[in-house]
């Protein structure tokens, strides 16, 4: 018998709609997501750049931004339909901080709305504030509990993966052994739920790309992978470091990467991503996963997102 999810996928395929991610265990050892090969179907749009347009987003100061009129705001569960209408892209990457709820009833509503749009959730970006290598065992335990919760959310939404976050250092220097011990438990739980756990080169200290690679290699699980972000390392380091970092990350990538053309550094200066060079690295590693468009600069995200979508399609074609 087909599950409700499988039934929806079969019907969508028959109607010529977007190819939804199909998940299966690979010979009992690792994930086996049947990624689409069509360039546009490999794209996703991240919710993060559109956070101010999503109902319920609290600004970094904890206050509701007033820059976007209520009439222009959308509910998170309607983001997939919005992306499909605006960009003709049928995959989304929600951001954990704009979820109004993660209770089962809301997640069912969210999943139904996504499927109604002929779309799919292909990753969830999670930014919980816990440190996986903290010297405080209770802190590490809280990080495990939180990540497991988001694995459950991913499973409920039919997402093949989540991106968990390693919060910046508080009382410890980066520690590969402790981080690996913590994240091994999360990866094992992800395997049970058929959800891959990704780590992103974001925070330049706690998520240093080469530190992430060491952790992934020490855990040595197909369920713990890298999420290469095109711009984050470039904003924090020189070009030599940044592109070596991207290369190292793509060597351990699986289901999701973040496509950016610009990124602001700590001084507020925009650094420019060499897209041709970065996509060459992506192809070098025969990366088959999704490319999530994540415009990350000041100003309205709609036009730059549309432009980056078209550039990405050309590089993937």
Res. 21: pLDDT tops 80: no
Confidence of residue 240 (pLDDT cuts 50, 70, 90): very high
What pLDDT, on a 0 to 100 scale, did the predictor assign at position 147? 98
Element (H, E) at 292: strand 290-293
What is the rounded CA–CA span in Å between residue 123 and residue 257? Answer: 10
Res. 15: pLDDT tops 80: no
- Backbone torsions φ then ψ of 263, nearest 5 degrees: -150, 140
Confidence of residue 65 (pLDDT cuts 50, 70, 90): low
Tokens of 66: 């007033």
Average confidence score pLDDT of the chain: 90
Res. 52: pLDDT tops 60: yes
235 in Cβ contact with 263 (< 8 Å):
yes
Average pLDDT of 140-146?
A: 97
Taking only the tens place, the pLDDT of each residue in 296-305 is: 988 899 999 9
Taking only the tens place, the pLDDT of each residue in 184-218 is: 999 999 999 999 999 999 999 999 999 999 999 99
What is the rounded CA–CA span in Å between residue 170 and residue 274? Answer: 34
Per-residue DSSP letter, 20:
P
What pLDDT, on a 0 to 100 scale, did the predictor assign at position 18? 46
CB atoms within 10 A of CB 114: 27
Res. 258: pLDDT tops 90: yes
Interstrand relation of 25-26 and 262-264 (parallel, antiparallel or unpaired): unpaired
What is the rounded CA–CA span in Å between residue 317 and residue 312? Answer: 9
CB atoms within 10 A of CB 203: 15
**Domain 4-316's class?**
alpha beta
Res. 26: pLDDT tops 70: no
């Amino acid at each position: 018998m087909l599950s409700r999810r499988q039934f929806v996928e079969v019907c969508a395929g028959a109607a010529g709609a977007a190819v939804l991610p199909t998940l299966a265990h690979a010979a009992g050892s690792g994930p086996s997501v049947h990624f689409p090969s069509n360039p546009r179907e490999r794209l996703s749009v991240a919710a993060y750049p559109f956070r101010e347009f999503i109902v319920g987003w609290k600004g970094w100061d904890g206050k509701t931004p007033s820059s976007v009129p209520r009439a222009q705001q959308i509910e998170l569960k309607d983001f997939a339909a919005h992306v499909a209408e605006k960009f003709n892209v049928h995959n989304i990457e929600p951001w954990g901080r704009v979820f109004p709820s993660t209770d089962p009833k809301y997640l069912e509503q969210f999943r139904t709305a996504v499927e109604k749009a002929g779309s799919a959730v292909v990753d969830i970006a999670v930014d919980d504030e816990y440190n996986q290598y903290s010297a405080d065992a209770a802190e590490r335990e809280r990080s495990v509990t939180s990540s497991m919760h988001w694995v459950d959310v991913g499973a409920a939404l039919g997402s093949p993966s989540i991106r968990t976050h390693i919060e910046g250092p508080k009382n410890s220097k980066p520690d590969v052994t402790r981080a690996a011990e913590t994240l091994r438990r999360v990866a094992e739980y992800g395997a049970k739920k058929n959800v891959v756990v990704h780590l992103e080169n974001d925070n330049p200290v706690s998520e240093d790309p080469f530190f992430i690679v060491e952790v992934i290699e020490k855990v040595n699980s197909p369920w713990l992978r890298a999420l290469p972000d095109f711009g984050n390392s470039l904003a924090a380091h020189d070009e030599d470091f940044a592109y070596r970092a991207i290369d190292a990350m793509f060597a351990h990538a699986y289901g999701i990467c973040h496509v950016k053309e610009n990124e602001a550094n700590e001084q507020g200066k925009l650094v420019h991503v060499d897209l041709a060079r970065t996509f060459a690295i992506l192809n070098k590693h025969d990366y088959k996963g999704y490319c999530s468009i994540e415009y990350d600069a000041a100003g309205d995200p709609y036009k730059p997102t549309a432009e980056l979508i078209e550039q990405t399609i050309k590089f993937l074609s």
